Amino acid sequence: MKVSLEWLRDYVDIDQTAEDLAEILTRGGIEVGGVELLHQGLDAVVVGEIARMERHPNADKLWICEVNLGDRSTTIVTGAQNLLVKDRIPVALPGTTLPNGVHIEVSKLRGVESSGMLCSTEELHLDSEMGDPRSEGGILILGKDAPLGVTLDTVLGEGDCVLDLELYPNRPDCLGMVNVAREVASLTGGALHLPTWAEGTKGPDYPVDPNARIVLDDPELCRRYAGLVVEDVKIEPSPEWMQKRLKAAGVRPISNIVDITNYIMLEMGQPLHAFDRDAIAGAVHVRRAQAGEKLVTLDDLERELDPEMLLIADDEKALGLAGVMGGLNSEITDSTKNIFVESAHFSSVSIRRTSRRLGLRSEASNRFEKGVNPHGVAATLGRVAELVIQLGAGKPVGFIEQAGQLSEHVAVSLTVEKTNALLGTTLTEEEITEVLKRLRFPYEEKDGGYEVQIPAYRSDITIEEDLIEEVARLTGYDRIPTTLPQGDQTQGRRTPEQEFKRTLRHLLVRLGLNEVMTYSFTRPDADRQFGDMEQAIPLLNPLREELSVMRTALLPSIMEIAARNISRRNLDIRLFEMGSIYKSKERPLVKLPHEELHLAGVIWGKSSRHWLTPVTEYDFYTVKGILEEVAREFGLEFEYRLPNNQELTHPGRSADIYLNGEKIGLMGEIHPALGKEWELERALIFELAMVPLIEAGNRTIRAFSIPKFPAMQRDLAVVVSQEVSAQDVMKRIKELGGELLVQVNIFDVYTGKPIPEDRKSLAFALKYQALDRTLKDEEVNALNQQVLEGIEKEFGAAWRK
């Protein structure tokens, strides 16, 4: 919001400089982003009049001009071709430095002395549309009433400054000059001089036009709608004072009627729109757009609408987008004779949605999105009628209004005790009373406190804490004492889950994997292969079709990353991702979906990480080794079983992963058919649910001294049925061996002659060791025999000698 200080002084007495006022506002919570001094550098440029013009004797395109400066004349040579005798123009005399940095001196042009320069808008850093239409592309031609000899800054507005307010969304009231004036008055104590209509709630006293009718088809989206009918309109430029104020606020002047609506919007904070009354057929309807309905807006673009958008329409057609932009079919033109000026209160949510969907923002939509005062809708039209009459732009003849249920004025209680308790201050009752008086909020003293009536324009104040903030602002934040935090303090540390994830990431990186992060969205067909499409959540507004469902598995996203790298000749792929998957059977969602943390990885290619290391191709045991390192790090014991889903992984080179009897994931080589589809032949994949790992993980460290005594190893080969799991046998061996059996490894699985077809041979290496003595052969042999007898009994094993 750009605030002209010259304009602001109409409403409030200001004794401070622009810089001091900016500091006061900023300290009071209304941040001022910058202070711009208008017409800076124009105090040395004066107004002159072309008294005589003649062609330069030595140049066809130059003119010798005698310029009258009021008290004297001077001769200036110019190449401008847009000048006539009696034109009043800006003159830079010798010794002047222009706003564009050019320094003016006496010079000779083709033998004729030139004592100064005639200036254009570009050289003066002024609006290119300023002055007479002949000024375009040439010297600035001022109005005939510009006084000779005075400086240009005096003509254009001496000493005007513009404060650039950077408002937060909770202060939409300060998008109007009268409310900025209220804010300045409360902070500085200056006297207010507001327009009569700024304090009112009723509309102007004009009869209802029998030909005008308003129909609120959707009262939820439009609480109040009012209109002013003006006849005998005369479309012409607005006066210079209004144009200067609009330009200072960053608004381009157009015509008197349009400028009046913009001027009052900036003044009162209430957006307005003027329709050509003769273009309205029948009643004015405030309704939702129909599906596929189209409207050509004032920017000459045809826009397709939907039922979520609010329209202003008549009995036959749409006239404009409510609160955003008018339609071209009801635009004010030079031939307009009668107008209908709209003032309304629209739903901020509806306007925000319409503006965002169409990518169309305006000064009006900016205000409606943040919220306008519904009680000031009708009164604003009284100010319109006042300016229309003042400018002689037409004759107001009728006022009409339709209102739904308006919100009541808010009453908020305030106590001295709670104010001081929250702020940590020792403010007195007199000081808080003074704050309420400066705010001009009506109040009553009640039960040792205050019952404060909040004006409708301050929609940001609804509870006592909001009023306490106002007390802090106006008494000064510097009065709030600095204190150290009190209360119990806890040491900051990672949660067990955070520590687990951090340790796991570091472990996988040490094992040679690279972490990637992907979108939580994926392709429906990819998610169908690896996840659970029955619980997949489709997106209402996806970025693109390839990212249209919330993922129920991590593997599709990370596999796409791997395939993209391979296509770019990266032939050594080791990737992992730790992220969430999302599942829900609700359609549509009424609560948050179930979210699970998963770990997934893809490995492809050959290892060649060091020139001394031979090139080896990744295989099933590469992935199994990584997962075993994870299990060892967290004190887990994975169990590997034949996979249930033979469509995802290779039937003979994959396994499902179990932990404590519960399936938590899969690992192995991708199924050949899928590998070909994804262009990831022989890729190795894994995906695990993380929650079971976190719950079962045990990183308690038990330290033992390095054994002084030698270990003894025994090999044990047994023949078992093909259905018996080697992992089950190894687990039972560890249990039977007791504390002295410190390590068991399987080193051979054999089938074939002389082993029967329905059986297989398993060979294990058993390592026995004691911390306090050297074991004897008899002791180890007895333990080994105990192990053999146990597995013979439990698995029907036969000792293979």
Whether residue 683 sits in one domain with residue 638 = yes
Whether residue 723 sits in one domain with residue 747 = yes
Whether residue 341 sits in one domain with residue 363 = yes
Residue 619, annotated as binding a ligand: no
Whether residue 165 sits in one domain with residue 136 = no
Residue 115 lies in a domain: yes
Residue 728, annotated as binding a ligand: no
The DSSP line for 239-266 is PHHHHHHHHHTT-----HHHHHHHHHHH
| Cβ-based burial of 15 (10 A; exposed 0-12, middle 13-18, buried ≥19) | exposed
- Domain containing residue 184: CATH number: 3.30.56.10
Residue 564 lies in a domain: yes
Mean pLDDT per 10-residue segment, the chain (801 residues): 90 91 91 81 86 90 92 91 91 85 87 90 79 87 88 72 88 91 92 87 83 86 92 91 87 92 94 93 91 90 90 92 92 92 92 90 90 90 93 92 81 92 90 93 88 90 93 89 77 87 94 93 88 87 85 93 91 93 87 92 76 67 92 89 84 90 92 91 93 86 81 92 88 90 90 89 93 90 91 89 76
Whether residue 665 sits in one domain with residue 729 = no
| Alpha-carbon torsion angle 303, 304, 306, 311, nearest 10 | 40
Could you count the other beta carbons within 10 Å of the beta carbon of residue 241?
11
The whole-number pLDDT of residue 210 equals 75
Going by C-alpha positions, the residue among 354, 356, 353, 349 that lies closest to residue 370 is 349
Whether residue 183 sits in one domain with residue 153 = no
The whole-number pLDDT of residue 157 equals 60
Whether residue 570 sits in one domain with residue 446 = no
Residue 222 lies in a domain: yes
Going by C-alpha positions, the residue among 211, 85, 90, 79 that lies closest to residue 149 is 90
* Adjacent-strand bridge partners of 112: 109
The Cα–Cα gap between 66 and 75 comes to 5
Residue 332 lies in a domain: yes
Length of the chain: 801
| 90 close to 46: Cβ distance less than 8 angstroms | yes
The whole-number pLDDT of residue 613 equals 47
Whether residue 431 sits in one domain with residue 394 = no
Whether residue 537 sits in one domain with residue 644 = yes
The DSSP line for 627-683 is HHHHHHHTT--EEEE--S-TTTEEEEEEEEEEETTEEEEEEEEEPHHHHHHHT-TT-
Domain enclosing residue 50, as ranges: 42-157
Number of domains in the chain: 6
Q: Which residues contact 49 (CB under 8 A, 6 or more apart)?
A: 67, 68, 86, 87, 88, 89, 148
| Alpha-carbon torsion angle 320, 321, 324, 329, nearest 10 | -20
Phi and psi at 285, nearest 5°, equal -105, 140
Which of 403, 426, 442 is a domain's end point? 403
Within 13 Å, how many C-alpha atoms sit on residue 354's CB side? 30
Residue 316 lies in a domain: yes
Note the pLDDT tens digit of each residue in 115-142: 999 998 888 877 777 788 888 889 999 9
| 567 close to 679: Cβ distance less than 8 angstroms | yes
Phi and psi at 163, nearest 5°, equal -95, 125
The Cα–Cα gap between 637 and 620 comes to 18
The Cα–Cα gap between 801 and 450 comes to 99
Residue 469, annotated as binding a ligand: yes
Residue 723, annotated as binding a ligand: no
Residue 482 lies in a domain: no
- Domain containing residue 84: CATH number: 2.40.50.140
Q: Which helix (H) or strand (E) holds 363?
A: helix 363-370
Whether residue 371 sits in one domain with residue 395 = yes
3-state secondary structure of 87: coil
